[in-house]
Amino acid sequence: MKRQPDGQPVTDDDSGNFEVRGIRLTAEEVDFIAKKAAKQALVQVYAEVGQSVLKRLLWLLGVALLALLIYLAGKNALPMLHE
């Protein structure tokens, strides 16, 4: 018999219906719930990947800006900050 993570049994009768914690679900309802959960998981993964890519791009932009400032300072191309 299949069990949920909390140890409660999941029953699947011959009609394709499932019963979980006293709630009966048809196979179509289970499929709908599974598809919705998969879509939500993908949205979350895409958001995390996007944040990671954005952080790396901003870090690289900062490094490139710092390198440009150091280069320009070495060429005396930056204006003096004091008189």
What residue numbers bound the domain in which 17 lies?
Answer: 2-74
Count of structural domains within the chain: 1
What digits encode the pLDDT tens for the residues 25-81? 888 888 999 999 999 999 999 999 999 999 999 999 999 999 999 999 999 898 887
**Rounded to 5 degrees, what are φ and ψ at 22?**
80, 5
Termini Cα distance of the chain: 83
Residue 16 forms part of a structural domain: yes
Which has the closest alpha carbon to 18: 31, 35, 5? Answer: 31
Residue 52 forms part of a structural domain: yes
Tell me if 67 sits within 8 A of 74, measured CB to CB: no
Note the pTM of the prediction, 2 decimals. Answer: 0.55
Residue 57 forms part of a structural domain: yes
